[in-house]
Amino acid sequence: IKGNKLITMTGLKSYSELLIKNKLFQLYKQDIENLIFKGTKISKSIEIIDKSNIIIFDLVSIKNSAIIGENTFINTMTSIGHHTHIKGNTRISIGVLIGGNVTIGNACFIGMGAKIFPGVSIGENCCISANAIITQNVPDNSYVSGKNKIKPMKIEGMGLWS
């Protein structure tokens, strides 16, 4: 893995343990650059941006040549395909499937169980609802639900996670 300090943690035994570890990460994240939980399968060729402050939970799979940007949170049981670029300030929920050659812009939220097909580009400041299916490109500042139901979303001044 290309990147700076990595800290791995053992698997979770309970939801309360998850809350404790998440709270510890929030309290000490200025001292931790990246937090990756045990049980994550990450290709050796992925790139994690230096000083990126990412957290990757257990049972996540990240394929070769993916790039993970700063301040990215990847929740459990998520699969990220090869040559995918997640730019930063993005939150990915539980059980998301992201195909290969996908680009996800800055400050996005991907809801639980969403499926993003190979070759799709998702713009900046987008919100993808739970269980959405995306087979086409999504412009900046969009909300997506169902299968490719894309609606403009007004963002006042800041991105979703600023």
**For 7-59, what is each residue's pLDDT tens digit?**
444 454 555 555 665 666 566 555 556 777 777 888 888 887 766 678 888 88
Catalytic: which of 85, 119, 133, 140? 85
d(CA 12, CA 48): 23
Confidence bin at 4 (pLDDT 50/70/90): very low
Give the H/E segment covering residue 22.
helix 15-28
More confident residue, 157 or 77: 77
Burial of 37 (0-12, 13-18, 19+ CB in 10 A): buried
More confident residue, 25 or 91: 91
Amino acid code (one letter) for 74: I
**For 124-145, what is each residue's pLDDT tens digit?**
999 999 999 999 999 999 999 9
The reply to whether 85 belongs to the active site is: yes
The pLDDT value recorded for residue 5 is: 45
The pLDDT value recorded for residue 114 is: 98
